[in-house]
Amino acid sequence: MTDTSEASAPSARTIIITGGSDGIGAAAARALSRTGASVVIVGRSAAKTAAVAAPLGADSFTADFASLDEVRALAATLLERYPRIDVLANNAGGIMGKRVLTVDGHEKTFQVNHLAPFLLTTLLTDRLLESHARVINTASVANSVYARFDIDDLDASAKYSPNRAYGNAKLANILFTRELHHRYHEQGLTTAAFHPGVVATSFSSNSTSVMRFIYQTPLKRMLITPEQGADTLVWLATAPLDEWISGEYYDKRLVAKANKLAYDPALAAALWERSGAMVAATAQAAPTLE
C-alpha cells in the first residue's frame, strides 16, 4: 500500500472514499471537496488515484481489495493519520469474469465488493463511533435482479456466474448496512446503502458478463454520468441526518425496495458472523508505517 498524504486542516470533515480513482467515486470526491471537506481518496491504481487527488489537494492511498492484508494495512494507516473520520464511503467494487480465488482463498467478487469493505469498516469501528460517523455503502439494483443468495456458499463454489456473484455481493452490502445499523446506531453511527444508477464508467471492463456490452460499447452513451451517479452518495454524506433514515437502501435520494432477503435480520446477523470468520481466518499483523 502506498500513500501521498499531507497534513489536513483539523477543522474540516474527514471523508474517506474507496474506489475513488474513477467513476462515481472520483465524481463524489470532487463534489465533496467543493463543500470544504478533507477528502481522502483510496484506489487500486496509484497513478489514477493520484491524478484525482492532486487537483483537489486531497490525501490518497492505494490498496488492492483482492488482498485482505492490504485492507488491514490501509486501516492501520488511516487510524494513525486521522483522529476523526466523519464519513466512510465504501464505494470500491465491480463485476468480475470467470470465478477466481483471491490470495486469501475467497471468490474475488465477494471479497472485493463485501469482505474487504466489511473488514475495513470493522477495523475502523472504534474511530467511527468516536466520530459519530456516517458509513455509506455503494450497492446496486443487481441485489434484486441477479442475487441467488446462499449463506452456506458465500464463495460460490457450487454455482457461479459473474452476474449472480455480483448480485449476491450487492445484497451482502445491504445486509451489512442493516446489521451495522442494528449494532451501532444507538452509539451514534449512521449508515445507508444506495444504488447509483447505471453509470457510464469503466465498470465491468474486466468482466465476461453481458453487462460489458452496455458499459463498453456505444450503448454507454445511454447511461447516466458519474456525477449523476454520485449524487445520492454526496447527499448521504452531507445532508442533515433528519433527512434520511439510517439502515435503509436508497435510490435517487429515496428509500427503495431491495431484495426481500435484505429485510431478514437473522440472515444479516448470520452474514456478519460468517464474514467475521472469513476475514479472521486470513488475519496477519498489519504492517506498521515507516
166 tagged catalytic: yes
In the set 146, 166, 249, 250, the catalytic residue is 166
Element (H, E) at 112: none
Residue type at position 139: A
| Nearest alpha-carbon partner for 42 in 34, 33, 32, 52 | 52
CA dihedral over 131, 26, 77, 172, signed as positive or negative: positive
Task: Detail the DSSP E strand segments found in the chain.
Answer: 2-3, 14-18, 38-43, 59-62, 87-90, 134-138, 190-195, 249-251, 254-255
Alpha-carbon gap, residue 91 to 267, rounded angstroms: 23
Question: Are 255 and 247 spatial neighbours (Cβ–Cβ below 8 Å)?
Answer: no
Q: What is the DSSP string of 218-275?
A: GGGGGSBPHHHHTHHHHHHHHS-GGGS-TT-EEETTEE----GGGG-HHHHHHHHHHH
Which sequence positions are flagged as catalytic? 166
